[in-house]
Structure 1
Amino acid sequence: MSSWGKYKANESGKKSWSQEEAFEKLTTFCAYQDRCPWEIRRKLYEKGIKDEPAERLIAELVQEEFVNESRFARSFARGKFRLKKWGKNRIRMELKMREIPEDLIRKGLAEIDPEEYYETLLTLTEKKWDTTKEPDAYKKKYKVIQYLMNRGFEMDLVKEAIESLNTSTDD
């Protein structure tokens, strides 16, 4: 079944896994936190397992419910929003990078409560406004907008949040 020895080093010099060892290690990897096939593929590649053997392992992990893209998308969206305070655009981009289908990305983003989302945006806006040391109000506004956009918040909401500060900016 597997031609990899337990202690064979791969191209990067790291120890390779046998097929059996890989499955065992990956179940632990997936049980610790939700994973997607893309992350598992990367992990397997590091350990010298690629192509068909890697896809077989991923299929087995999916069948055994260790890997579920829908569950991953939902927990990823909730976690990145709540812990890292990322906006929906950033979360969407990260999920796309992980090759998650668009319908599952939408389901993941739907897990974010709109009121909590806007409150988080307002809090971040106020904090950034207060900590941005810029005497020119126009430049300060630009810096705060850039910061919030880089975090992945939508431009229309960012503008709304900035206007809600009741700052005396002259446009």
Structure 2
Amino acid sequence: MKKVFTVEEIKRKMEQYCVYQDRCHKEVETKLKEYQLIPQARELILLHLFEHNFLNEERFSKSFARGKFRIKKWGKERIVRELKLRDITSANIKIALKEIEEEDYIGTLNELVEKKNLLIKESNLYKRKKKLFDYLKYRGYETELVMEVINVIMKKPL
């Protein structure tokens, strides 16, 4: 049998959910659906979360971009794609991408290329470049940037 909660109890649970980690609107709505609330109660809780700054899309998108870049070393394209999946506005996505310093971005890309290049066992230069390219595209780095870095690194002896 499912436990029944009051609107106040659910409100507190949602506050804790948002405090633990920055959440986007979509994540909170998905979590609220688990409680099978009537639409008015859901709106009341969402309004409360917005008014008391538990839910802030700009803050979420900034921390998401910073975290995914620093921890998972994702590129801007992947971050943008993931933010769009979470229904974040284009304006908030632009603000979030400003959190990534260009110097750090290029440095991380070079670091990934160097590491991956050492791990690839392929001797054919073109296949090696293709594997590096595919790896970096999956990570979400821009095509022009990836090609530029690969061409520079491939001119160096192993």
- Using structure 1 for the length normalisation, give the TM-score: 0.85
In the TM superposition, residue 120 of structure 1 has moved relative to its aligned partner by: 0.2
Letter in 1 for 2:22: D
- Which residue is 1:167 aligned to? 155
- Which residue is 1:98 aligned to? 86
Q: Verify: 1:116 aligned to 2:127, yes or no.
A: no
Letter in 2 for 1:96: K
Q: Verify: 1:20 aligned to 2:15, yes or no.
A: no
Over residues 110-164 of structure 1, what are the superposed CA-to-partner deviations in whole Å (9 max), with x where a residue is unaligned?
Answer: 1100000000000001111110121211111101101100111000110111122
Separation in 2, partners of 1:55, 1:139: 54
In the TM superposition, residue 168 of structure 1 has moved relative to its aligned partner by: 6.8
In the TM superposition, residue 67 of structure 1 has moved relative to its aligned partner by: 0.8
- Which residue is 2:62 aligned to? 74
In the TM superposition, residue 46 of structure 1 has moved relative to its aligned partner by: 2.5
- Contact 1:30–1:67 (Cα < 8 Å) also in 2: yes
Q: Verify: 1:125 aligned to 2:113, yes or no.
A: yes
Aligned counterpart for 1:149 among listed residues 105, 118, 137: 137
Aligned counterpart for 1:39 among listed residues 27, 38, 51: 27
- Structure 1 unaligned blocks of 5 or more: 1-7, 10-14
* 3-state SS of 1:165 partner: helix
In the TM superposition, residue 80 of structure 1 has moved relative to its aligned partner by: 0.6
Of 45-54 and 90-99, the range deviating more from structure 2 = 45-54
Separation in 2, partners of 1:74, 1:50: 32
Aligned-CA RMSD value? 1.8
- Which structure features the higher share of helix residues? 2
Separation in 1, partners of 2:15, 2:106: 37
- Using structure 2 for the length normalisation, give the TM-score: 0.92
Higher relative contact order (CA 8 A, sep 6+): 2
Is the alpha carbon distance of 1:26 and 1:167 closer, same or farther for their aligned partners in structure 2, counting shifts above 3 Å? same
Letter in 1 for 2:147: K
Is the alpha carbon distance of 1:50 and 1:105 closer, same or farther for their aligned partners in structure 2, counting shifts above 3 Å? farther
Separation in 2, partners of 1:57, 1:144: 47
How many residues in Structure 1 have an aligned counterpart in Structure 2? 157
Separation in 2, partners of 1:109, 1:157: 16
Give % identity: 43
In the TM superposition, residue 49 of structure 1 has moved relative to its aligned partner by: 3.3
- Structure 2 unaligned blocks of 5 or more: none
